[in-house]
Amino acid sequence: MFRKVTTLTEFILKEERCFRKATGSFTLLLTQIENAAKIIASHIKKTGLVDILGQTGEKNIYQEEVQKLDKFSNELLVDILSESGQVYAIASEELEKPIFVKKNSGDYVVFLDPLDGSSNIDVNINVGTIFSIYHKSSNLLQPGSKQVAAGYIIYGSSVMFVYSCGHGVNGFTLDPSMGAFLLSHPQIKIPQKGGIYSINEGYYNLYDDSLKKYLNHLKNLEKPAKLRYVGSMVADVHRTLLKGGSFLYPANKKNPQGKLRLMFEINPFAFIMQQAGGLAYSGKINPLQIKPNSLSQKAPIVLGSVDNVNEYLKFYK
């Protein structure tokens, strides 16, 4: 029996009709991100066969070693978005300053983590691209609640494009034979509760007492929770989104403000998680309500299933 499949492009065009004032600009922007994702996916599949592994010898603004694929992904996305005619400014984790498109600029600001988890590439662990889109503004430092859309592409055993523009979350899987992303996960809803938690327990001795009690509690349940931690945020949050549970990257004595970047990592994933029916907290507040004070601002985060996050919050009352 023939079953109609929906491509990402078709889905975006259909969704566009829900917005009376839509001009097609946003559709073109997402299509350009889609095209860049296909190219990045193609290069990742060749890892080990061509000279794209390893470090460049450079460091980014966070003093982290820049991987060759980091640099390639960043330059590709910046070039494609700059030439799209839909973007006013681009901010990337790999750039010291945002880029303002002077020629043929558009109405959107895009925040990028071009290749999250890139230090794991040489051991063949999932990595991904994270994006967050805002309307054009004279001040790029807008709270996450102002996001027009957010999403990620996960490069793994299959390549998935997951995004939300404020009307739920949908996932698309790349069909290599067609060269198109097909709707494979419509209207993703995170389970109300899950049995998995994801955190770097190597930092256990650096966590505060409340968090230690929470982690000990998880281990002493009648059916103990399962620890799963990849160390690539895209991979860990993607699993949490589909299977339920919680993802935590809290503050610790070494990183009192947390380690993840508010604009590049926390806001897009908090937006997606809440659109899928989950919760996200930085400390005791919704991270989407935080007014950023810098592009490099960091914050702690816990996100996931409603029951799991609420259980975590009980230890901080």
For the whole model, what pTM was predicted?
A: 0.91
Which residues face 67 on adjacent strands? 55
CB 303 within 8 A of CB 260: no
Q: How far apart are CA 240 and CA 180, in angstroms?
A: 25
The average confidence (pLDDT) of the chain is 90
- Write the CB contacts of 292 (distance below 8 Å, at least 6 apart in sequence): 141, 142, 143, 262, 263
**Nearest in space to 312 (alpha carbons), one of 255, 251, 245:** 245
Q: How far apart are CA 70 and CA 76, in angstroms?
A: 10
Domains in the chain: boundaries? 8-185, 196-314
- Span 247-281, pLDDT tens digits: 999 999 999 999 999 999 999 999 999 999 999 99
- Span 17-76, pLDDT tens digits: 766 666 778 999 999 999 999 999 988 887 655 554 445 445 555 455 446 788 889 999
278: Cα separation from own chain's centroid: 15
- Span 164-216, pLDDT tens digits: 999 999 999 999 988 999 999 999 999 999 999 999 999 999 999 999 999 99
- Span 103-136, pLDDT tens digits: 778 999 999 999 998 777 777 789 999 999 999 9
The first and second tokens of residue 282, run together, are 């930085």
Q: How far apart are CA 140 and CA 281, in angstroms?
A: 22
Q: What is the CATH number of domain 8-185?
A: 3.30.540.10
CB 253 within 8 A of CB 110: no
pLDDT score, position 259 = 94
Domain 196-314, CATH class in plain words: alpha beta
pLDDT score, position 16 = 79
